Amino acid sequence: MSEFPAVKLHVVSGKGGTGKTTVAAALALSLAAGGRQVLLTEVEGRQGIAQLFDTPPLPYEERKVAVARGGGEVYALAIDPEQALLEYLEQFYNLRRAGSMLKKLGAIDFATTIAPGMRDVLLTGKVMEATTRERRGGGRLYDAVVLDAPPTGRIARFLNVNTEVAALARMGPVRNQADSVMRLLQSSKTAVHLVTVLEEMPVQETIDGIAELTATDLPVGAVFVNMVREPLLPEDALEAAAQGKVDKPALRRGLKAAGLDADAPLVTALAGEATDHAGRVLLERRERALLDDLHRPTYELPLIDDAADLSGLYELAGRLHDTGMV
Amino acid sequence: MADRTLAVDKLLDEAQIIVCCGAGGVGKTTTAAALALRAAERGRTVCVLTIDPARRLAQSMGLTELDNTPRAVKGVAAAKGGHLDAMMLDMKRTFDEIVLTHSDPERAKQILANPFYVSLSSSFAGTQEYMAMEKLGQLKAEGRWDLIVVDTPPSRSALDFLDAPQRLGRFLDGRMIRILLAPAKAGGRAYLKVFTVGVKMFTDVLTKILGAQALKDLSLFVASLETMFGGFRERADQTYQLLKEPGTSFVVVAVPERDALREAAYFVERLESERMPLAGLVLNRVHTSPANGLSVGRSVAAAEGLESAGEQPIAAAVLRVHAERMALATRDARRAKQFSSAHPGVKVVNVAAQAGDVHDLAGLRKIGSELAGTS
């Protein structure tokens, strides 16, 4: 059962530090489970995918990085704007050999870094190409494409290429390319998912991000709540513990019963930790309530010790599968 | 051990510029604000330039007006004669001011109204970095402050901040601009009759990609900006030099997560290779335990014992809490150690994980004393 059966392009964004790349990779793995072919792409030149899958830096080429449960495959591509531009020139104008000349003149540098919006058109254009490929000679076909996108603070602007290039080109090929990218991004084939953790700033950015995406008619998908930790104190003790009211005599008796040397400093230290923990749990519940008010499909992923390695990725992919997301 | 710790108070008392840099989401803005507040309360006249502060932190510092001018922060302890001003960078306005300073009113008006300029000044990926450095140069030139603390833009990669100003300067002053200028000088309509084959091919390609109208717009835009070009490169170079001066210190900010530490490592290596003065690493959100004599293993075993006996539920739960915290503390310590082994010369200071976000001066003060190791 999948929440997003019609979606072919999954865009994953999130505030820095929320684990957006890890979630994108886990999503790709879970989408591939059962024999499907999935492409995982990144566009910020960070080589985050290679690091996660423990492979050498990815070239501008689709490489297999993982095999999913049930025989599916995940391919990865690090999209580089310069290469994307050269490819674009070759494809549409047969101009690849002009590349070195253009480079010398600074035109490639201009197009990929300075020209307003061009970079984003090139990056999203390549994602579109991979998503909409057809059988005849266009390279590998994928069942789904996952984009590890720029962070929440910039996501709406990154995807809204149409407006960004408006100043650059009111008509002409770049404008046409931007228009077709926009048609795909605003269609039901795309979903923009946001990753957050239960802290104030990431949750606020998620709320703001959803508002911006909605305002630009970009389809908001799910909210992934990452690095969730279970409350460890009994429910009825949380409020009191958060206010610093931990039953120290009971704690001392318990520690003694467990055979620990329950001196006063240890009891005080542990009671303080219980207070911190309870405070965090209550804060997380307030943040969680704010997310619930968004009325988006919301999936929780646990904090696991090393989410940034392969076994952790498979575990998270399994969790996503269990939640019914894919 | 002591010499591996970043001596924050000494830095705050002596530096003239402190640049805080690091990956997004590691607490750069909070660190910059905490350093600036502490320096001011130690008696220095300080200005903090922030890029994109969280709303409530901005409000607590009085940063409600976006007027691109430093404003006094209220509530700073002035007993030692210090003072704190704060400002939030308005990228477009900073750019506009450069245009206004360097061209006559008529031309400035043309430039400011050009759609190309509007786009470049408000959305080019490197403009924010460039303008942050530009503003730093301006503040420094004013000479009003003993110390300026700069927070850097939330770059895609921390290194953008070093490269973007030069890249923009190079572009605005470069060969491509001269080619684009040629047609406008020749009267606009003649711009396809350009000089060499290479240039012809170049404009052909641009026309194909952008369309003729866009190329004409760009060409006119570039022409109207012409008077300022020399200045751009020069200013970018000057600011870059300013960053190398003895009074400048870089503080790299990270959290004990792999990505953030990797980014910090790149930055440290880059600063070393550029001979930029690195003060050290601030490691935010480090988990610690006040009961670190009780290990994860013993804690879990004790909790399991109580749970299986069905006794002492509070103590069992608290032991679980402690085990989780110790596991995080152990993980953080391991990651910090990995960084330090790879970069033994880099001084480090840890800031403990806070219960919630910091949004007032009291919270900044607390972080400041943790940074200085006096909490």
Q: How much is the mean pLDDT over chain A?
A: 89
Interchain CB distance below 8 Å, B202 and A101: yes
Give the A window 107-166 contacts with B, CB below 8 Å. 107, 109-111, 113-114, 116-117, 119, 150-151, 153, 157, 164
- The rounded distance, in Å, linking the Cα atoms of B267 and B249 is 13
Shortest Cα–Cα distance, A70 to chain B (Å): 30
For the ranges A97-101, A149-153, B5-9, which has the lowest average pLDDT?
A97-101
- State which residue of chain A sits closest to B254, comparing Cα positions: A17
- The rounded distance, in Å, linking the Cα atoms of A142 and B211 is 33
pLDDT of residue B172: 63
Interchain CB distance below 8 Å, A254 and B320: no
Interchain CB distance below 8 Å, A46 and B156: yes
pLDDT of residue B10: 96
Three-state SS sequence of chain B: CHHHECCHHHHHHHCCEEEEECCCCCCHHHHHHHHHHHHHHCCCEEEEEECCCCHHHHHHCCCCCCCCCCEECCCCCCCCCCEEEEEECCHHHHHHHHHHHHCCHHHHHHHHHCHHHHHHHHHCCCHHHHHHHHHHHHHHHHCCCCEEEEECCCCCCCCHHHHHHHHHHHHHCCHHHHHHHHHHHCCCCCCCCCCCHHHHHHHHHHHHHHCHHHHHHHHHHHHHHHHHHHHHHHHHHHHHHHHHCCCEEEEEEECCCHHHHHHHHHHHHHHHHCCCCEEEEEEEEECCCCCCCCCHHHHHHHHHHHHHHCCCHHHHHHHHHHHHHHHHHHHHHHHHHHHHHHCCCCCEEEEECCCCCCCCHHHHHHHHHHHCCCC
Closest partner residue to A283 among B298, B303, B356, by Cβ? B356
Shortest Cα–Cα distance, B242 to chain A (Å): 25
- State which residue of chain B sits closest to A249, comparing Cα positions: B315
A277-323 confidence digits (pLDDT tens) = 999 999 999 999 999 999 999 999 998 876 667 888 999 999 998 88
**pLDDT greater than 70 at residue A1:** no
Chain B contact for A244 (CB, 8 A cutoff): no
- State which residue of chain B sits closest to A173, comparing Cα positions: B209
- Check if the beta carbon of residue A136 is closer than 8 Å to that of residue B204: no
Interchain CB distance below 8 Å, B198 and A308: no
pLDDT of residue A28: 97
pLDDT of residue A95: 65
Interchain CB distance below 8 Å, B171 and A150: no
Closest partner residue to B123 among A89, A116, A305, by Cβ? A116
Closest partner residue to B202 among A89, A107, A266, by Cβ? A107
Q: Which residues of B touch A200 (CB under 8 A)?
A: 54, 356-357
Shortest Cα–Cα distance, B373 to chain A (Å): 20
- State which residue of chain B sits closest to A252, comparing Cα positions: B315
Interchain CB distance below 8 Å, B321 and A272: no
Burial class (CB in 10 A: 0-12, 13-18, 19+), B366: middle
Interchain CB distance below 8 Å, B176 and A105: yes
- The rounded distance, in Å, linking the Cα atoms of A169 and A175 is 6
Interface test with B, best of A114, A236, A305 (most B CBs within 10 A): A114
Residue carrying the six token digits 């210090």? B82
pLDDT of residue B109: 87
Shortest Cα–Cα distance, A270 to chain B (Å): 7
**pLDDT greater than 50 at residue A212:** yes
- State which residue of chain B sits closest to A19, comparing Cα positions: B259
pLDDT of residue B275: 86
Give me the residues paired with residue A194 across strands.
Answer: A13, A223
Chain B contact for A46 (CB, 8 A cutoff): yes
Q: Tell me what the mean pLDDT of segment A18-27 comes to.
A: 95
pLDDT of residue B194: 40
Interchain CB distance below 8 Å, B154 and A98: no
Interchain CB distance below 8 Å, A116 and B255: no
Shortest Cα–Cα distance, A250 to chain B (Å): 7
Interchain CB distance below 8 Å, B321 and A233: yes
- State which residue of chain A sits closest to B115, comparing Cα positions: A167
Residue carrying the six token digits 């061209």? B103
Interchain CB distance below 8 Å, A255 and B174: no
Q: What string of pLDDT tens digits covers the 375 residues of chain B?
A: 447 899 999 999 999 999 999 888 899 999 999 999 999 999 999 999 988 777 777 887 878 776 788 999 999 999 999 999 999 988 888 888 888 887 888 888 888 887 677 777 776 556 777 788 888 988 999 999 999 999 987 665 556 667 766 666 666 666 666 666 665 444 444 444 444 556 666 677 777 766 776 777 677 777 766 666 566 667 777 877 888 888 999 999 999 988 889 889 988 998 888 888 999 999 999 999 999 999 999 999 999 999 999 989 999 999 999 999 999 999 999 999 999 999 999 999 999 988 778 889 999 999 999 999 987
Interchain CB distance below 8 Å, B23 and A16: yes
CA geometry: angle B307, B312, B313, nearest 5 deg:
65
A40-80 confidence digits (pLDDT tens) = 999 988 888 998 998 999 999 999 999 998 889 999 999 99
Chain B contact for A227 (CB, 8 A cutoff): no
Chain B contact for A240 (CB, 8 A cutoff): no
Closest partner residue to B209 among A17, A174, A229, by Cβ? A174
